Chains A and B, each alone.
Chain A
Amino acid sequence: MPDTTTGAGIEVTGLTKIFKNTVKPAVDAIDLDVRPGEFMTLLGPSGSGKTTVLNMIAGFEDVTAGQILLDGEDIAQRPPYKRNLGMVFQDYALFPHMTAAQNVAFPLQRRKIGREETARRVAEALEVVRLGSHGDRLPSQLSGGQQQRVALARAIVFRPRALLLDEPLGALDKRLRDSLQLEIARLHSELGITFVFVTHDQEEALALSDRIAVFRDGRIEQVGTPTQLYETPASHFVATFLGDSNVFSGTVRGGVLDTGSSALRCEGPDGPGTLIVRPERMTIGANGSTAQNRLSGTVTGVVYQGAFRRILVDFDGGAHGMVRDGTDAPTVSTGDRVDISWDVAHSVLVADDDRAVVTT
């Protein structure tokens, strides 16, 4: 839309939700600051509280405690229809008895906008999602991807200052998902409004977000840019939820992690710790760096993935791991003995708080 709208800032403080007849909070005193115009993704497994947070921002769920500030104003007690936020749902939620154009006109009619301007803005919004010629179709005459694009047009046509997206790509097949993902990224940069995007798909989160908030058990585990979360995860959970990881647990003393079977160099305080190394940071053979770790192991499998290979390794001492290797690297095959090395700077030591959770 050509009109310059700026995004709203959404600040959540101490947000808590305890559902009826439960003791454990579904959302436990969360603080989150979504900056104006930002693409913020709430990422986490199902039941982690991310959808509940979105529903509280939308107004579908009562807030047990805490504040939701929209540009500094607390909207926690306001009914959803007075919040003026756009929303896109997983199953599109188009009104089946209305055409695409009537669906898009719906929010404008609620705002008593004149017939001519409504028609103009509906056409414009459908154009933005590249459905200009489909205005007279019923939702049942559109494909899933087209329906979701109508839903997007309907959610932005009244120029909300923030858009909430609840797993909007979840119901689509892979190819449609990819193209609609690009569409959403393009909309975000064109509109300049704030996006709050809920997903459990880490690839989606990495591809789209300015920042990601990783949810776990009703709390936020870490907030950061995709690069920060991937390169410097704050916990074992974040590291394993976003991308693949090689994980070594043990005790750190004087910059060395003792796993019981090997000693690995690392950077971090003494005490129990977990060392995270991304598969693409490991190389087979020496890597030439002076600050490196080296482990021996046996190849248990090689998975060809086109652009790269995944080499599964059983390290001596028991840890399982994975190395990502270019397809032009020397071939290894199952049963081969290999030396794996990595630069200390490319590994992250996280506090070892996850063991109990991991074993459950």
Chain B
Amino acid sequence: MTGSTTLRRVLTAFAVLIAIWLVVPVLIVIPISFSGENSFAFPPASWGTGHYVTFFTERSWLTSLLVSLQLAVIVTVIATVLGTMAAFAIVRMTRGSGALERFFTAPLIVPGIVIAVALYVAFLQWGLIGTATGFIAAHTVLSLPFVVVNVANVLRTYDRTLDRAAAMLGASPWTTFRVVTLPIIRPGVLSGALFAFVTSFDEVVVSLFVQSPQLQTLPVRMFTSITNEVDPTIAAASTVVLVVSTLVLGMAGLARRTGTTTRSKDNA
């Protein structure tokens, strides 16, 4: 009795320690980003928003932020459409769907650096290095699995009698998809899309290979900044990435939660 309570206390303390260990280094960039000094000194000797002013006004930072945002939006749209289609094929095909699913989720398992090298070699041949098309193609590959997994999961619980009912009521297959299927699987599609956005937005490894000095995403710009110069603006950049990613993933969580509540209500 007391033994198990002690054990639970020890475990709780341990979990808290790990949480601190994981989160504190990340959170340390936030005070540094508000430092008034031109250094990484922690705690800062004075406070200010100068690093944010630099981040949002200096061309190289601002451009890379805009590149990242635009890229993430385009990738989200493409990956969501393609991933949803792939999920339909995986869930509804009678043969070969297992192989197809492993194929589409392979980027989750294959080491990022291997994908990066492979894409680099191929893109070099096709002249896609340093191009928007190259970035879009590369990030789409990396984002697809998240859409496929999320959509396939909701699609597996989808009752296909609804398609039959819609057909009997006069809805063509396309109308059925638009008016019945899509609204019901929306939580999965939405959370897949948001994951795709974050995947593209903070991707570094593959982007480092695809980038050119003229076309850089924000994480690439941050990487070059930290390797070539000592510029605390990167703390402001990190904070921006942190806030955007947290917001988007929070929305994904919310999308999934509303999805499960409607589903559990249906079963009642």
Contact = CB atoms under 8 A, between A and B. Distances in A.
Interface stretch (B133-141, B156-164, B218-226): B156-164
B265 A154 contact: no
Nearest 6 Cβ contacts at the A-B interface: A110-B170, A93-B165, A107-B169, A80-B167, A87-B168, A140-B265
A60 B161 CA distance: 11
Contacts of A59: 167
Contacts of A58: 164, 168
A40 B175 CA distance: 32
Interface string B103-122: 00000000000000000000
Given A96-B262, A97-B184, A60 B169 contact: no
B184 A80 contact: no
Given A94-B165, A140-B266, A140-B267, 11 more contacts: A81-B173, A84-B170, A93-B161, A93-B164, A95-B184, A96-B184, A96-B262, A96-B266, A107-B169, A110-B175, A140-B265
Nearest to A95: B180
B268 A110 contact: no
B80 to A, nearest CB: 20
Given A97-B184, A139-B266, A81 B161 contact: no
Interface string A46-86: 00000000000011100000000000000000011101111
User: Which residue among B161, B168, B180 has the maximum number of chain A CB atoms within 10 Å of its CB?
Assistant: B168
B172 interface: yes
Given A138-B265, A140-B266, A140-B268, A93 B171 contact: no
A140 B267 CA distance: 7
B231 to A, nearest CB: 50
B213 interface: no
Secondary structure of the B contact surface, majority rule? helix
Interface string A223-252: 000000000000000000000000000000
B96 to A, nearest CB: 16
A81 B171 contact: yes
With most chain B CB atoms within 10 A of its CB, the pick from A81, A85, A154, A164 is A81
A111 interface: yes
B163 to A, nearest CB: 9
24 contacts: A58-B164, A58-B168, A60-B167, A79-B167, A79-B172, A80-B168, A81-B166, A81-B168, A83-B168, A86-B168, A91-B159, A93-B162, A93-B164, A95-B162, A95-B165, A95-B166, A97-B183, A106-B169, A107-B170, A111-B170, A140-B262, A155-B168, A155-B169, A158-B170
Nearest to A81: B167
Contact of A89 (B161, B180, B184): B161
A24 B161 CA distance: 26
Contact of A85 (B168, B180, B184, B265): B168
A89 B164 contact: yes
B172 A81 contact: yes
Interface string B232-267: 000000000000000000000000000000100111
Interface of A: 58-60, 79-81, 83-87, 89, 91, 93-97, 106-107, 110-111, 138-140, 151, 154-155, 158, 164
A110 B172 CA distance: 9
Contacts of B172: 79, 81
Contact of A87 (B165, B265, B267, B268): B165
Contacts of A111: 170
A150 to B, nearest CB: 12
Contacts of B266: 96, 139-140
Contacts of B170: 81, 84, 107, 110-111, 158
Nearest to A151: B165
Contacts of B179: 106
Contacts of B262: 96-97, 140
A154 B167 contact: no
User: Quick one: which of A80, A89, A140, A154 has the most chain B CB within 10 A?
Assistant: A80
A161 B165 CA distance: 17
B145 to A, nearest CB: 27
A59 to B, nearest CB: 7
Nearest to A154: B169
A99 B162 CA distance: 15
Contacts of A95: 162, 165-166, 180, 184
Contacts of A94: 165
Contacts of B175: 110
Interface string B18-61: 00000000000000000000000000000000000000000000
A83 B172 CA distance: 12
A84 B170 CA distance: 7
A155 B169 CA distance: 7
Nearest to A141: B265
Contacts of A140: 262, 265-268
A85 B164 CA distance: 12
A158 B169 contact: yes
A97 B168 CA distance: 18
Contacts of A107: 169-170
Nearest to B267: A140
Most chain B CB inside 10 Å of its own CB: which residue of A59, A84, A95: A95
A207 B144 CA distance: 56
A61 B224 CA distance: 61
A111 B164 CA distance: 17
A97 B266 CA distance: 9
A244 B184 CA distance: 47
B33 to A, nearest CB: 43
